[in-house]
Chain A
Amino acid sequence: MRYAAPTTIDEARDLLAADGDAVVFAGATDVVPQVRAGRPEPSMVIDLKKIDRLMSVSLDGDTWQVGAAAPSSALTANAAFAADFPGLTEAAGLIGSDQIQNRSSLGGNLCNASPAADSVPALVVNDAVAVIAGADGERRVPVADVVTGPGQTSLAHDEIVVCFELARPAAGTSDAYLRLIPRTEMDIAVVGAGVRLTLDGDGTVSAASVALGAVAPTVVRVPAAEAALVGSSLDDDALAAAAAAASDACNPIDDKRGTINYRRQVAGVLTRRAAGIAADRIRTRNGQNGAS
């Protein structure tokens, strides 16, 4: 197994294109354990962490550009980013341990294509767009369309996710992500739920996004839950309807981490709770703005 550390996207793409068994990594927190667990060794591992654009996190006008290989700890330490996307930042901060978060990345978490990836529901509810470099230049794809199944993506072999574009949230908007794990850390989501809400001046929900992780082969967007929330004031009935819709949207499996019934039940619970947290964040921010 060879190791390469290109410093430009073109160089990385050329290495990838020339070797059908090569893989890229943006942290290697999945690739290395997978090989250790018996997955065939790739002929070459291509380290993307030496490419500046993949490592940078910056605000360009009203759009955040998050490098696909930037470590989770770069997001959790970025107060401005965390203020715009507290839920996504929390999701990035839940991956592995503190040490892992110095390596793990949003690009790696997405392209590993685990149904349980923590950051993906949070990216999806924030309408994140993946910028993908390929033979014909760059294309932009909604994050929800990148993963096609467990371990499967829509990327061609020689394509690389460069960064994510995230529009700064509109006024009265915030997000939240919750996951259920039996422990408190060092674990994989049994269920994950991301919610983004926009509240208008009188507290009515004017927009809602709901996405679930670990309850289906790919992240599940839940339009019925969103519809139940929009137009409501997040009263108990609306939250219960959203929870029920989330439970219904699940297509989980029974496995060593949880049962079908358990995942369905908890998906509803976490959706309701995440909606509550997102709304509290908006109200708190509005309160602070009002006071200042």
Chain B
Amino acid sequence: MSTTEAPPSTGTNGNGTSGYRWVGTRPVRHDGLDKVAGKARYAADLNLPGMLYGHILRSPHPHARIVSIDTSAAEAMPGVKAVVTGADFPEAPPKGATRNLMCTVIARDKVLYSGHAVAAVAASTRREAKAAAEAIEVTYELLPHVLNISDAMADDAPVLHDKLFTRGVEPRPTEPSNIAARTVYERGDVEQGFAEADIVIEREFSTQAVHQGYIEPHACVVDCDQEGKAVIWASSQGHFKVRSATAEVLGWDTSRIKVIPAEIGGGFGGKTTIYIEPVAALLSTKAGRPVKIVMSREDVFRATGPAPGAIIKMKVGARNDGTITTAKAWLAYENGAFQGMAAMLGCMCVVSAYTLDHLYVEGFDVVLNRPVNVAYRAPSAPAAAFAMDSVVDEIAERVGMDPLDLRIQNCPSQGDPTPYGPKWPMIGLRECLEAIRDSDHYQSELPEGQGRGVASGFWFNIGEASSATVNLNENGTATVITGSPDIGGSRASMALMAAEELGLDVHLIQPVVGDTEVVGFTDVTEGSRATFATGMAVVEACRDLKEQLRKRAAKTWDCDMEEVEWVDGSAVHGPGEQEPLTLAAITGNAKRTGGPLGATASLNARGAGPAFSVQVADVSVDQETGRVTVERYTTAQDAGTAIHPSYVEGQMQGGVVQGIGWALNEEYIYSDDGNLENPGFLDYRIPVASDLPMIETCIVEVPNPSHPYGVRGVGEVGIVPPLPVMANAIADATGVRISDLPLSPPRVLAALTAADS
């Protein structure tokens, strides 16, 4: 679905109807064959001569003071080459982000969650390392713990950090608490807004912490030499971040560290930080041998990546004609053991898909005895959308309007103010709403007994720093080296943009992710930024190369460069006195015209295009067991321009699937003593393929004017709408509205039973 209203209409829609030769086509990804053949190298696949295996000992308690650690028994065990504890690491500053990172990697005076790393062993075999780690004697002084927001915010709650004073409160508190920060956004006068509203709906929602659920556990191999240099092979979303964060934790200069990116088996935001690399580095330094650490699935669940649970109170006012005028929101987000900015992001997102005259949004970031939050696709936005779009659905019901028409009536467009301040640039929310309204799915009759739900979702997308080097080879092929780990098909996108610029067959272009010493600094693959920002660097380098190619042709023809144009991969002589020179002809002759051809671009990408998605689902609900079956699902998303439509669709579908899992079954289940009871995929239920219908996709293309091809990021926003979509569809099917996730069979049946009686 391409739009004709937004200029300039360079949309592609994947049907080959654009003016582009390569952008918008669907070549097989360059890394695809290796992956399906099992040849792709992930970090855990690497083995080096003399390599040791590291094992990390983790706290069995959610909150305790470390009284002492005795490693003597472990050090005497067979095969043990090195043991480290927090005492081997540089002292952490008293507070701040560096302390939080250092103390996440290894606990110092206190453990703050069950699974917190306490010590580590490197030994000749995995078995020896594990046995020795278990022989480390840690004496704990147990402290009371808090596992949920309400308990952590209570006046008499056990306090995790004695130097954490709530930010955003005046006067500044004098007592520490678990409330790390308060955020407020406001406009107009909400009390006046509610007084003028015909309908006011007030509801409270809760969502549970979830994990990104990447299939590949965190893994690294670190080899430190005697001069103090380290080579790290790691699975991450950003190897420059692995370098800087490892250096930060170890107090090393970054130049001591080289990071080689491995193929990544899923990240979804969860691999934007580090856990194990500094531990392996210190073990390797001590042992004088390379050290591999691979997390177990249990470690992954206990010690990495939750996206936070949240409690959100929404009060929304509207007029009888369906105009939403006023919203008041109170949001509290889990942060895990250390301060984050989950609630702040939630505050920015919660009403972003609506224009409002009056709003007051207040958020609280809360620390508690769980692992520290890490990004997960559009962090914080899904819970916020769950609250707002559930209430909006009720408003549509009350005023008797189609829920999509109501959203169209209230949707912002370019120039309207965002809830958090700046004005909206060109956005495609309206186009996404219209795409779903006009879709075959929404136009189809709802099958008997099913329910239909819709919702919309917003995510910012970001730019940040990227670098690319494009080298032309003597045979007329090109190598595109970027610093962005490829977590969703970005290599194919880089190759397509280079192909379009150079006029070169995409199959003659090899896209590569370069290590920290072969390509310029590049920020983490996050914020849906790789194809947008790193793509801009690729395009810039290719444009530089085109200049060079024209120059070489001019030299060959002994003419003025202005007489040479670059057309479809060849230098063309404007006056027509020369036969065109292909790229291969120029590179083959490069030694005689000035040497090899290559170009590098490094930039801070500005103008990331905000992303919106609108989705619809049909569900059936087993009224006697509470089981929900997703019968049909369609998602529309503004991609700006789809560089590789198949991988755009893959991102859209992947986000939806993860959102459905979040909505229906995923949750962290803690025992009263603070231990995670479901640290595995059996009882942490991400959807399996047979749970889902084919997710139908509708790519909307409202180009981002800040990108040479109009790209917006597509990686994240797809996960935002499914939470309210599921809740709204279930409400439609059963007449019962549930405001607490997950919508698992026991919860749905309990709600249906309660509504009956």
Please list the residues of chain A having a beta carbon within 8 angstroms of any beta carbon in chain B.
Answer: 37, 180, 182-188, 190, 256-259, 261-262, 265-266, 269
Contact = CB atoms under 8 A, between A and B. Distances in A.
A256 B669 CA distance: 7
Nearest to A258: B746
Contact of B687 (A183, A188, A269): A183
A118 to B, nearest CB: 14
Contacts of B625: 180, 266, 269
A256 B677 contact: yes
Interface string B624-646: 11110000000000000000000
B624 A269 contact: yes
Contacts of B626: 262
B746 A184 contact: no
A183 B688 contact: yes
**What's the dominant secondary structure at chain B's contact region?**
loop
7 contacts: A182-B627, A182-B665, A185-B690, A261-B750, A262-B746, A265-B749, A266-B624
Nearest to B623: A269
B678 A256 contact: yes
Contact of A180 (B627, B677, B683): B627
Interface string B662-683: 0011000100000001101111
Given A180-B745, A259-B750, 20 more contacts: A37-B298, A37-B680, A180-B627, A182-B665, A182-B685, A182-B744, A182-B745, A183-B665, A183-B690, A184-B690, A185-B688, A185-B690, A186-B681, A186-B682, A256-B669, A256-B677, A258-B746, A259-B746, A265-B753, A266-B625
What is the interface of chain A mostly: helix, strand, loop, or mixed? Answer: loop
B749 A183 contact: no
Contacts of B745: 180, 182, 190, 258, 262, 266
Contacts of A265: 624, 749, 753
A259 B745 CA distance: 11
Nearest to B629: A184
A148 B669 CA distance: 29
Contact of A187 (B624, B669, B682): B682
Query: Which among A37, A182, A261, A269 has the greatest number of chain B C-beta atoms within 10 A?
Result: A182
A186 to B, nearest CB: 5
B189 interface: no
Contacts of B683: 188, 256-257
B431 to A, nearest CB: 35
B691 A184 contact: yes
Interface string B685-706: 1011011000000000000000
Interface residues of B, number: 25
A261 B746 CA distance: 9
A190 B745 CA distance: 10
Nearest to A38: B298
Interface string B730-757: 0000000000000011100110010000
B685 A187 contact: yes
Contacts of B298: 37
Contacts of B750: 259, 261-262
A183 B630 CA distance: 11
A183 B685 contact: yes
Contacts of A182: 627, 664-665, 685, 744-745
A186 B627 contact: no
A188 B683 CA distance: 9
Contacts of A257: 683
Which 6 A/B pairs are nearest by Cβ-Cβ distance? A262-B746, A184-B690, A269-B624, A256-B669, A256-B677, A182-B665
B368 to A, nearest CB: 20
Nearest to B664: A182
Interface in B98-112: none
A190 B677 CA distance: 16
Contacts of A259: 746, 750
Interface in B278-330: 298
B688 A186 contact: yes
B688 A184 contact: yes
A84 to B, nearest CB: 27
A259 B626 CA distance: 13
Contact of A262 (B664, B680, B682, B749): B749
A212 B664 CA distance: 26
A264 to B, nearest CB: 11
B746 to A, nearest CB: 4
A262 B747 CA distance: 9
Interface string B573-590: 000000000000000000
Nearest to A254: B746
Contacts of B688: 183-186
A269 B625 CA distance: 8
Nearest to B679: A37
A184 B683 CA distance: 13
A31 to B, nearest CB: 16
Contacts of A186: 681-682, 688
A182 B690 CA distance: 12
